[in-house]
Structure 1
Amino acid sequence: MQPLQIDLLTLPIRYVTLFAAFFVTIVMGLFIVFQAYHGYRRNANRRMLFLAVGLAFVTVIPPLMSLATASFGLHVDIYMFYLPLGTAISQIVGLSFIIYSLALRSGS
């Protein structure tokens, strides 16, 4: 059995563009999450910790779920139902963390 080999010259440009967009989204999301976590560590402010977790669920996890699903080449039901459901749940959880971080008192 041979390892998976991809010839980048024959790969359609739309796949490269899509991967680049996902990669940039993930990197930018991780940067924002890191900055919020760094603010939590610097100030010991729980609001920043919840903000960092919420932003991770909103900006990083959905693209990672999409990339993981696409790389396994799973059944069409995954793409039509479970992936959008998982993405929506991740965003709901993330937005809940963000709302909670905004609702916390400043002294927390």
Structure 2
Amino acid sequence: MALLHPDRTLEQLALLEVYAAEFDWYCFCLVCGHAPGRGQDTLQSLYQAQARRRGNRMRELYPLVCAHWDAVNLANQMAQARDDWTRARLHSRLREAKVRHRTVVQSLRGAWAGT
């Protein structure tokens, strides 16, 4: 699969690396009440690269999009939490969501690299 469009595959892998590298910082900013657009911009770039490459955007990216929004929603809830107990519970759930997110990123990395 990677041999059919090596340039596009490399483009997607590069975008995935940028996205993955920025995601933890993005979530941290959201938890602190800031809303940097870069995390969603990079996800959108991945989505568009997938569309150019395969035409079927969501099949491969659906798990990443779901994992992204699970973590983002929890980070936003954590920013709005008013008490320490709720914040601690949400922090635990956010850590779990970020682990799922990293697992999805690793899976995509392997699929796009052809392994």
Q: For this structure pair, what is the TM-score category when the shorter chain's length is used for normalisation? A: 0.5 to 0.7
Alignment CA distance shift 1:38-1:44 (3 Å): same
Q: Which runs of 5+ in 2 are unaligned?
A: 1-31
Aligned residue-pair number: 83
TM-score (norm 2): 0.53
Structure possessing the higher relative contact order (Cα contacts under 8 Å, 6 or more residues apart): 2
Shift of 1:90: 1.2
Alignment CA distance shift 1:72-1:64 (3 Å): same
Cα distance per residue 1:12-42 (max 9 Å; x no partner): xxxxxx43xx201xx1110000000111111
Contact 1:29 1:56 in 2 (8 A): no
Q: Kindly, what percent of the aligned residue pairs are identical?
A: 10
Shift of 1:70: 3.8
Bigger share in helix:
2
Q: 2:86 aligns with which of 57, 78, 85?
A: 78
- Aligned residue for 1:23, secondary structure, equals coil
- The higher radius of gyration belongs to 1
Shift of 1:106: 5.2
TM-score (norm 1): 0.55
CA RMSD across the alignment: 3.4
Distance between the aligned counterparts of 2:39 and 2:90, measured in 1? 19
Amino acid at match of 2:35: F
Contact 1:50 1:98 in 2 (8 A): no
Q: 2:71 aligns with which of 55, 62, 69?
A: 62
Shift of 1:78: 1.6
